[in-house]
Amino acid sequence: MLSLWGISLVLMLAVGIYVARVGRNEEAQICLAESSNHMKSEQDEIAARIGKLQPLKRSAMILAGAMTLLVVVYFAISAIHQF
């Protein structure tokens, strides 16, 4: 059970790092000039890729949270049965 918990945490970490690497070139600025259409299209492409990864990131976080809760409950029940 602990190995599954560890795997879920590593998966969550890996997805988080990947999303951060994909989004590292995203800039939070307003493109006002018409000549910056290329930059705007690059930013739109990055935002689209990050948007596609958000469900995976959310699922990995839910899985890690559920596994953490499962491990805590398992050890709590084990402690109660010992006393």
- State how far the Cα of 77 lies from the Cα of 73, in Å rounded to an integer: 6
Return the pLDDT at 9.
93
Dump pLDDT digits (tens) for 8-55.
999 999 999 998 888 876 665 555 566 577 777 877 888 888 889 899
Q: Considering only CA atoms, which of 19, 10, 7 is closest in space to residue 50?
A: 19
pLDDT greater than 80 at residue 60: yes
- State how far the Cα of 57 lies from the Cα of 62, in Å rounded to an integer: 9
- State how far the Cα of 54 lies from the Cα of 60, in Å rounded to an integer: 10
Return the pLDDT at 15.
93
Radius of gyration of the chain (CA): 20
Domains of the chain, residue spans: 2-26+39-82
pTM given for the model: 0.72
Place of tokens 């951060």: 20
